[in-house]
Amino acid sequence: MTLFDVIFQGNDAVYGLTEGAIDGAIEKYGADKKVAFPATAYSIPCYYAVTGIKVGTLGELKEALGVVKTLMTREPALNDALFSGVATALCAEFIEVLKYIDNETPYEAPCAGHLPDAVIRTLGVPLVTGDIPGVAVILGAAPTAEEGAALVKSYQEQGILVTLVGGIIDQCIEQNVKMGASLRVIPLGYDVTSVIHVVSVAVRAALIFGNVKPGDAAGLMAYTKERVPAFVNAFSPLNEVIVAAGAGAIALGFPVLTNEDTFEVPGALIPKVAPADMNAASLDARNIKIKITKIDIPVSFASAYEGEIIRRGDMQVEFDGSRVDCCELVHMKEPGEIEDHKIEVIGPDLDEFEVGSKHSIAYVVEVAGKSMQEDFEPVFERKFHSYINCIEGVMHTGQRDMIRIRISKDTFNAGFRLKHIGEVLYANVKNEFAAVVDKCQVKVITDPELVTKIRHEIAVPMFNKRDERLATMTDEAVDVYYSCIMCQAFSPSHVCIVTPERLGLCGAVSWFDAKATNELDPTGPCQVVTKEKPIDERIGEYEDVNEAVRKFSHGALDDVSLYSIMEKPMTSCGCFECICGIEPFSNGVCIANREYAGQTPLGMTFSELASMTGGGVQTPGFMGHGKHFIGSKKFMKAEGGVARIVWLPKDLKEQVAANLNKTAKELYGIDNFTDMIADETITTDPEELVAWLTEKGHPALGMEPLMA
Ligand code: SF4
Ligand code: ZN
């Protein structure tokens, strides 16, 4: 048998199963029964992306299967093989979607099954920054559980997102591999068809970030091949169904590596790779480079541990800024005052504390360098959360003097002590900020009296000074803005313009961050944008900003306004924290954040709203933005400002209330403006919304019509 025969046979087998399953479902539920994956705006995403057709019912699914059949041509040629691979994948997607009829959660923990759009949007930034350098798909059981777990752990330590299908899941459970989305190891399911859930992630990335049009199969395949760094590790024995599915992966540009002695297709199907060599061979096949931060500590340090949670019972000691004095601080000094790589521990160490006890801690990172500026202090400081969280068995929450750190028993028993916190901070600051930090030393202090003194006499006054400076930072007060094109790895024509009063839509890049990024890497993603030639100050349009946008979008975008949602609004890549859309009945806007899964008065969920914009295209009436932008005086300034906000999810409203109320008071003299803004506990119905807003006297009702 040739490889073609195997693929065709596998494809035919899956097709037969799918046909039977759809017919069975129609018999049971009727052809009009609704069918789609939950928490996505793309119904049955892979099929939608390949054909441009949105399936809504079982009857339509049956028709879709007819379309899939047309892909199943049988010439023994590469093209036919790849399309049969795609057809196999689509059949798998149909089989999987049937599991979701009348059941939002057919998968049981630890298996995830279908992943929501919101999860994909959170992956955007880490994938572009290389924080998640790749996506591994492991299929089947390794020869031994030890080898399987070792492979998974090796990827996890590199920050690679690992998805598991089949026997490997039980091997990981047996070997106590910590799993879950927050640890970047996601078991999808035991059936081979569940592999489609990771394919669906790659495909939706193309729709969400890449502006690939549904139905443009060639554009889709080019996008996944060039921009989604995924690969497959399939363990022996392979059957024809796995091989046919593998052909689908190859069609998307994902190489398949296996330990089986089977056919070889150079660069695409790579046989006879021993489990121990799979990691290196996979990275090589997909050309993935791993950033290594070598740190001298007794436990692992990897971004995969960032979301790890340490429960009370597993904890050796805790530092808790809500109960006792704690703080973290970056302090710029003169070079003569610093001895590079000096780590000092002042006060009792971890082994002098009782198990489960709470203590004070302060760590002060002192830096010096010719190009160092005070403005960078908070930029470094905000990274500490991530640095400390990346230590295996250490959890960090909060910032400044409201931090909490837990250290697990396992990590303590592995020999982790306070000086290692110093090592982690030193190595990361030196590594990430090498361009401005020449020398760095760290003091870790647990002497309670000294911590109290540092907190109140040094740290708090410094924080206050910084806050005052931030509060006076307006767009008018600076001479330049910054562009950010970090997301172009996924969204090739998207450009953010970052100003003091409008942070990047991902929420992670403030004007100060962009400034620091520019100074650290002058030819990097953030460039200086002047704003000397105003065209229209009302909507925030400048000739020089337009020129920058034209250049950095490679001509995809002509002009952009900074302060309007209706006229030349800023584009979105897809990783925005919030999406804002106009609500015609109230003459205002509704905003939904990524964490909010429910309905909005626009009749759309976050995912559906989010799908209205993205891929670096201007869509008047919809705007992706950061959470922090909601309280800004520049929010929709052209349309009258924050007074247009009529509806927010309750949680988000609470998060932004202080800022938003302050802004509304200053702009319109309104007290407690958030009391006039509806949320899901009040209504998600547009008519009820208007009635409620009328009762509250919401200002949007009396403003100029949003749509002329
Ligand atoms: Fe992406 Fe914009 Fe954030 Fe830069 S500022 S990382 S381009 S979303
Ligand atoms: Zn983005």
Return the structure tokens found at 176: 């106590």
Distance 498 CA to ligand 1 centre (A): 9
Whole-number pLDDT of residue 286:
94
Q: What is 287-323 written as a DSSP string?
A: TPPPP------SS-B-GGGTT----GGGEEEEEETTT
Say whether 606 sits in a helix, a strand or coil: helix
Whether 291 is in a domain gets the answer no
Same domain, 397 and 253: no
Whether 439 is in a domain gets the answer no
CA distance 316 to 47: 50
Whether 112 is in a domain gets the answer no
Same domain, 85 and 133: no
Please give the average per-residue pLDDT across 471-493, as a whole number: 90
Same domain, 93 and 189: no
pLDDT at 605 over 80: yes
Same domain, 52 and 158: no
Ligand 1 atom at minimal distance to the Cα of residue 505: 8
CA distance 645 to 632: 12
The tens digit of pLDDT for each residue in 419-451 reads 999 999 999 999 888 888 989 999 999 999 999
Local confidence band at 467 (pLDDT 50, 70, 90 cut-offs): confident
Distance 124 CA to ligand 2 centre (A): 6
Same domain, 131 and 196: yes
Whole-number pLDDT of residue 491:
87
The tens digit of pLDDT for each residue in 617-648 reads 899 999 999 999 999 999 999 999 999 999 99
pLDDT at 555 over 70: yes
Whether 445 is in a domain gets the answer no
Same domain, 89 and 133: no
Which mutation among 490, 496, 526, 576 tests ligand 1's pocket best, with the greatest number of atoms within 8 A of CB? Answer: 496
Strands, E assignment, 326-476: 326-332, 343-346, 357-359, 361-368, 394-399, 402-408, 439-445
Q: What is 507-559 written as a DSSP string?
A: SS--HHHHHHHHHHSTTSSEEEEE--SEEETTTTEEHHHHHHHHHHTTTS---
574 pocket-lining for ligand 1 (C-beta < 6 Å): no
Choose among 582, 587, 575, 596: nearest CA to 656: 596
Sign of CA dihedral 76, 80, 86, 91: negative
Q: Which residue intervals of 30-57 are DSSP H helices?
A: 45-51
Distance 489 CA to ligand 2 centre (A): 9
Strands 588-593 and 645-647: parallel
Same domain, 182 and 249: yes
Choose among 579, 421, 573, 452: nearest CA to 509: 573
Whether 106 and 100 have beta carbons less than 8 Å apart is answered as yes
Ligand 1 atom at minimal distance to the Cα of residue 509: 5
Whether 211 and 126 have beta carbons less than 8 Å apart is answered as no
575 pocket-lining for ligand 1 (C-beta < 6 Å): yes
**Which numbered ligand comes closest to the C-alpha of 505?**
1
pLDDT at 540 over 90: yes
Whole-number pLDDT of residue 341:
93
CA distance 160 to 290: 9
Q: Whose CA is nearest to atom 8 of ligand 1?
A: 506
Residue where a domain stops, chosen among 256, 285, 314:
285
Whether 22 and 9 have beta carbons less than 8 Å apart is answered as no
Ligand 1 atom at minimal distance to the Cα of residue 507: 3
Please give the average per-residue pLDDT across 530-547, as a whole number: 96
Which mutation among 123, 486, 515, 557 tests ligand 1's pocket best, with the greatest number of atoms within 8 A of CB? Answer: 486
Q: Whose CA is nearest to atom 5 of ligand 1?
A: 504
Which mutation among 552, 573, 623, 628 tests ligand 1's pocket best, with the greatest number of atoms within 8 A of CB? Answer: 573
Distance 500 CA to ligand 1 centre (A): 15
Distance 185 CA to ligand 1 centre (A): 26
**Which numbered ligand comes closest to the C-alpha of 485?**
1
In sequence order, the β-bridge partners of residue 422 are: none
CA distance 541 to 539: 6
Strands 315-320 and 357-359: parallel
Which mutation among 505, 513, 570, 579 tests ligand 1's pocket best, with the greatest number of atoms within 8 A of CB? Answer: 505
pLDDT at 291 over 80: no
Cβ neighbourhood burial of 232 (10 Å; 0-12, 13-18, 19+)? buried
Whether 459 is in a domain gets the answer no
Same domain, 220 and 307: no
CA distance 203 to 86: 12
Q: Which residue intervals of 535-643 are DSSP H helices?
A: 543-552, 606-610
User: What is the CB neighbour count within 10 angstroms for residue 401?
Assistant: 20
Return the structure tokens found at 208: 């969400």
487 pocket-lining for ligand 1 (C-beta < 6 Å): yes
Residue 494, CA distances (Å) to 158, 482, 613 in order: 28, 14, 12
Please give the average per-residue pLDDT across 244-254, as a whole number: 95
Whether 400 and 327 have beta carbons less than 8 Å apart is answered as yes
Residue where a domain stops, chosen among 407, 429, 451:
429
Distance 160 CA to ligand 1 centre (A): 21
Same domain, 572 and 640: yes
Instruction: Specify the DSSP element, H or E, that contains 232.
Output: strand 230-234
Return the structure tokens found at 313: 């019972």
Same domain, 278 and 325: no
**Which numbered ligand comes closest to the C-alpha of 481?**
1
The tens digit of pLDDT for each residue in 345-357 reads 999 999 999 999 9
Which mutation among 509, 562, 575, 578 tests ligand 1's pocket best, with the greatest number of atoms within 8 A of CB? Answer: 509
pTM as predicted: 0.79
Choose among 384, 660, 627, 637: nearest CA to 506: 627
565 pocket-lining for ligand 1 (C-beta < 6 Å): no
Whether 698 and 646 have beta carbons less than 8 Å apart is answered as yes
**Which numbered ligand comes closest to the C-alpha of 493?**
1
Choose among 514, 491, 492: nearest CA to 503: 514
Please give the average per-residue pLDDT across 607-621, as a whole number: 89
What CATH number corresponds to the domain at position 50?
1.10.8.190
Same domain, 421 and 499: no
Same domain, 507 and 648: yes
What CATH number corresponds to the domain at position 393?
3.30.1650.10
Cis peptide before 110 (omega within 30 of 0): yes
Please give the average per-residue pLDDT across 153-158, as a whole number: 91
The counts of H helices and E strands in the chain are 22, 23
484 pocket-lining for ligand 1 (C-beta < 6 Å): yes
Cβ neighbourhood burial of 697 (10 Å; 0-12, 13-18, 19+)? exposed
Distance 495 CA to ligand 1 centre (A): 8
CA distance 352 to 329: 24
Distance 548 CA to ligand 1 centre (A): 15
Residue where a domain stops, chosen among 98, 126, 161:
98
Mean pLDDT, the chain, rounded, equals 94
Choose among 463, 399, 481, 467: nearest CA to 659: 467
Return the structure tokens found at 340: 């590079």
Radius of gyration of the chain (CA): 27
22 pocket-lining for ligand 1 (C-beta < 6 Å): no
CA distance 13 to 19: 10
Q: Whose CA is nearest to atom 1 of ligand 1?
A: 487
Number of domains in the chain: 4
The tens digit of pLDDT for each residue in 98-141 reads 999 999 899 999 999 999 999 998 887 788 777 789 999 999 99
Whether 519 is in a domain gets the answer yes
Distance 512 CA to ligand 1 centre (A): 14
508 pocket-lining for ligand 1 (C-beta < 6 Å): yes
504 pocket-lining for ligand 1 (C-beta < 6 Å): yes
125 pocket-lining for ligand 1 (C-beta < 6 Å): yes
Distance 514 CA to ligand 1 centre (A): 10
Whether 533 and 545 have beta carbons less than 8 Å apart is answered as no
Say whether 670 sits in a helix, a strand or coil: coil
CA distance 483 to 205: 23
Distance 494 CA to ligand 2 centre (A): 8
Whether 514 and 498 have beta carbons less than 8 Å apart is answered as yes
Whether 456 is in a domain gets the answer no
Residue 606 sits at φ, ψ, to 5 deg, of: -55, -50
Whole-number pLDDT of residue 465:
87
Ligand 1 atom at minimal distance to the Cα of residue 498: 5
Using the CB atoms, write b or e for 642-657: b if 16+ within 10 Å. bbbbbbbbeebbebbb
573 pocket-lining for ligand 1 (C-beta < 6 Å): yes
Residues 6+ positions from 704 with CB-CB distance below 8 Å: 639, 640
Domain that holds residue 20: 3-98
315 pocket-lining for ligand 1 (C-beta < 6 Å): no
Choose among 270, 275, 107, 96: nearest CA to 199: 96
Choose among 495, 687, 607: nearest CA to 117: 607
Whether 105 is in a domain gets the answer no
The tens digit of pLDDT for each residue in 365-403 reads 999 998 899 988 988 998 899 899 999 999 998 888 989
Q: Whose CA is nearest to atom 6 of ligand 1?
A: 486
pLDDT at 574 over 90: no
Which mutation among 575, 623, 625, 627 tests ligand 1's pocket best, with the greatest number of atoms within 8 A of CB? Answer: 575
Choose among 506, 383, 488: nearest CA to 121: 506
Local confidence band at 708 (pLDDT 50, 70, 90 cut-offs): low
Residue 332, CA distances (Å) to 204, 283, 584 in order: 44, 39, 51
The tens digit of pLDDT for each residue in 164-201 reads 999 999 999 999 998 988 889 999 999 999 999 999 99
